[in-house]
């Protein structure tokens, strides 16, 4: 990827942060089953900027954008966002842009998207629970095992709700940018976007495998000792209502991902 002029880098970073903040705020009040951690399909914004403009633009734009969104929502500088969401978003989308910067292919994009969502959300969840809620806010007086379970639950919630948007919408935005702004988008991205289709097998597997995992988690929370263990050992976190919502989330997301994955196998979603 060619080095961008400093003025374009600054402008694109500011635009990424602004768009991410606005789009994130649109869903800021749709929360996870635990009442913390929002539904955020807006991850497509920093994902697009990280790939097209580079890792620093995507990472910094995501970090600043999430801080703006969370602070506006809470009416003040939100320390939870500063402590957890800012570093998690920066690391996640920097990784995505770094992988794309080396040599862009759709297979690398698919792999990097999964890595970004796992690593970034893991950082946000664990820092939010252990660094902010537990230490700074002095809340969530629970055993360490319960806090770990809650952190993993948040990571899974974000991953399964973000992945379809990342894999379906972001490539369309990249493809559109390659057509509209060929002088800005690097040649390797233009070639992949315009002359080659996304590898159907890799793309479908990136949807089918998480879909199967989600269905297995649904079955595990419904018909295995795991469900009883969660509700008995971590009753404050995994209440009966929470378990119902989790099961709906696991089964619903699993079926959706499987349908999307098999649809890609039967017919290419992305046309030249």
Enumerate the domain spans of the chain. 6-196, 197-272
Q: In the chain, what percentage of residues exceed pLDDT 90?
A: 36
Look-up of token digits 């957890």: 84
* Alpha carbon distance 250, 91 (integer Å): 27
Cα–Cα separations (whole angstroms), residue 26 to 37, 42, 81, 163, 270: 14, 9, 17, 18, 28
Q: What is the mean predicted confidence (pLDDT) over 93-99?
A: 94
Q: Mention the CATH class of domain 6-196.
A: mainly alpha
pLDDT in tens, 12-58: 999 999 999 999 999 988 888 777 888 899 999 999 999 999 999 99
- Beta-carbon contacts of residue 149 (< 8 Å; ≥ 6 apart): 230, 234, 237, 238
Write out pLDDT tens, residues 142-175. 677 777 888 888 898 899 889 889 988 999 899 8
Bridge partner list, 31: 38
pLDDT exceeds 50 at position 112: yes
Q: Residue 272 above 50 pLDDT? A: no
pLDDT 10s digits, 54-76: 999 999 999 999 999 999 999 99
With pLDDT > 70 as the criterion, what percentage of the chain qualifies?
Answer: 88
> What pLDDT digit, counting tens, does each position of 113-153 carry?
999 999 999 999 999 888 877 666 556 566 777 778 888 88
């Amino acid at each position: 990827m060619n080095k961008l002029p400093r003025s374009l880098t600054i402008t694109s970073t500011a635009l990424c942060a602004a768009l991410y903040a606005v789009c994130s705020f649109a869903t800021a009040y749709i929360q996870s089953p635990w009442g913390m951690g929002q539904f955020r399909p807006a991850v497509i914004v920093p994902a697009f900027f990280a790939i097209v403009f580079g890792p620093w633009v995507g990472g910094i734009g995501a970090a600043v954008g999430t801080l703006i969104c969370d602070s506006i929502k809470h009416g003040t500088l939100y320390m939870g966002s500063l402590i957890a969401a800012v570093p998690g978003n920066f690391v996640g989308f920097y990784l995505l842009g770094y992988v794309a910067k080396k040599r862009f292919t759709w297979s690398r994009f698919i792999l990097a998207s999964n890595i970004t969502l796992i690593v970034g959300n893991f950082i946000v969840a664990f820092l939010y629970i252990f660094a902010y809620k537990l230490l700074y806010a002095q809340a969530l007086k629970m055993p360490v095992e319960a806090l770990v379970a809650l952190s993993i639950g948040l990571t899974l919630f974000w991953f399964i709700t973000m992945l379809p948007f990342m894999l379906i919408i972001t490539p369309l935005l990249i493809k559109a940018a390659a057509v509209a702004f060929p002088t800005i988008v690097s040649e390797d991205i233009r070639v992949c976007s315009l002359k080659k289709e996304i590898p159907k097998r890799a793309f479908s597997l990136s949807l089918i495998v998480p879909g199967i995992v989600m269905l297995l988690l649904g079955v595990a929370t419904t018909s295995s000792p795991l469900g009883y263990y969660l509700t008995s050992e971590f009753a404050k976190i995994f209440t009966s209502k929470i378990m119902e919502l989790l099961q709906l989330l696991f089964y619903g997301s699993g079926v959706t991902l499987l349908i999307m994955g098999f649809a890609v196998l039967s017919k290419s979603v992305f046309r030249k």
